[in-house]
Amino acid sequence: MVGDVKVVEMDRNDSDSEVARETTIENENVLSDIAKNDKDFRVRLDALEMISNMDILADIAMNATDSKIVSKAIEKISDESVLIGIVKNSNGPFRNEAAQKINDQSVLIEIAKNDEDFVVRAASAQKISDESVLTDIAKNDENSYVRRAAAQKISDESVLTDIAMNDDDAYVRRAAAQKISDESVLDDIAINEERLTKVICDKCGSENMTVKSHKAPNPDYSYCAWKIIDYICNDCGNIVSKPL
């Protein structure tokens, strides 16, 4: 229950004036209905801000149609059991946001390994601290986005090397390679990438390419690459740069 709360809604149908209506609200269930259904976003948001009941916030998170209201409701929820319920018992598109607020490792592991939504699995993997679990996910999840999320949390360079050398997805291999510090290992990975990725001259179309040099990525590539390889075309001499 809340005390005498005034919610003001601005009616903008008249371009020359704003007509305000005031409603006195005493019950959070009424606030919930307003937060989910009022036509004015500011009124929906004001109503949501007044709600403190975790179960009502969870209902809004699972049933509201406005993505901003859903995100705000999840943000307000502090009860981990309620957050777990949202992840496990709803089909909403924002379950990953609830998963990111969960700290219970056993629950996170269960979600990361079993949830049907790869985005939710990835969000949970990013909160897991057990490297053996992360290694299992990074090597075995069917979705490359989840494998990449897990690889980014691993620090064991032997595991990272295995992933960087053997994963089927280039982005997963790069995510693992970016965490490796041993230059000799990185050189081996670079050679392996050359075998995995066909390079074609963008000038003459030849596949007769030779590695000319390796270099660190510039800022334009650093978000997705750990090394830039320059190839020289043996037919026309053109240089092709490829991020790894």
Task: Find the CATH number of the domain harbouring 244.
Answer: 2.20.25.10
Where residue 229 falls among pLDDT bands split at 50, 70, 90? confident
Stretch 190-194: mean pLDDT, rounded? 78
In a domain, residue 172? The reply is yes
pLDDT value for 224: 45
Q: Within this chain, do residues 116 and 182 fall inside the same structural domain, yes or no? A: yes
- CATH code for the domain in which residue 120 is found: 1.25.10
Does position 112 have pLDDT exceeding 80, yes or no? yes
Where residue 216 falls among pLDDT bands split at 50, 70, 90? low
Does position 14 have pLDDT exceeding 90, yes or no? no
Q: Within this chain, do residues 192 and 238 fall inside the same structural domain, yes or no? A: no
Q: Which of 48, 75, 93 is the C-terminal boundary of a domain?
A: 93
Does position 150 have pLDDT exceeding 80, yes or no? yes
CA distances (Å), origin 236, targets 87, 213, 243: 56, 17, 21
Does position 135 have pLDDT exceeding 70, yes or no? yes
In a domain, residue 14? The reply is yes
Q: Within this chain, do residues 112 and 173 fall inside the same structural domain, yes or no? A: yes
Q: Within this chain, do residues 81 and 31 fall inside the same structural domain, yes or no? A: yes
In a domain, residue 98? The reply is no
Query: What are the tens digits of pLDDT across the range 157-181?
Result: 999 999 999 998 989 998 999 899 8
Q: Within this chain, do residues 80 and 112 fall inside the same structural domain, yes or no? A: no
Indicate whether this model's pTM tops 0.75: no
In a domain, residue 118? The reply is yes
In a domain, residue 134? The reply is yes
Stretch 26-53: mean pLDDT, rounded? 92
Where residue 117 falls among pLDDT bands split at 50, 70, 90? very high
Q: Within this chain, do residues 40 and 58 fall inside the same structural domain, yes or no? A: yes
Q: Which comes out higher in pLDDT, residue 1 or 233?
A: 233
Q: Within this chain, do residues 140 and 115 fall inside the same structural domain, yes or no? A: yes
Q: Which of 93, 126, 148 is the C-terminal boundary of a domain?
A: 93
Over pLDDT 70: what percentage of the chain? Answer: 81
Angstrom distance (rounded) from CA 93 to CA 42: 22
Stretch 132-157: mean pLDDT, rounded? 97
Helices (H) and strands (E) in the chain, counts: 13, 5
Domain count, the chain: 3
pLDDT value for 231: 86
In a domain, residue 59? The reply is yes
User: Which value, to the nearest 10 degrees, does the dihedral of the CA atoms of residues 75, 81, 83, 88 take?
Assistant: 180
What range defines the domain where residue 134 resides?
103-197
Where residue 226 falls among pLDDT bands split at 50, 70, 90? low
In a domain, residue 62? The reply is yes
Lowest-pLDDT choice from 74-78, 112-116, 164-168, 220-224: 220-224
| Residue appearing with tokens 């090397």 | 161
Query: What are the tens digits of pLDDT across the range 45-75?
Result: 999 999 999 999 999 999 999 999 999 999 9
Q: Within this chain, do residues 187 and 225 fall inside the same structural domain, yes or no? A: no
Q: Which of 182, 197, 212 is the C-terminal boundary of a domain?
A: 197
In a domain, residue 237? The reply is yes
Among residues 133, 183, 136, which one has the least CA distance to residue 157? 183
Phi, psi of 33 (to 5 degrees): -60, -40
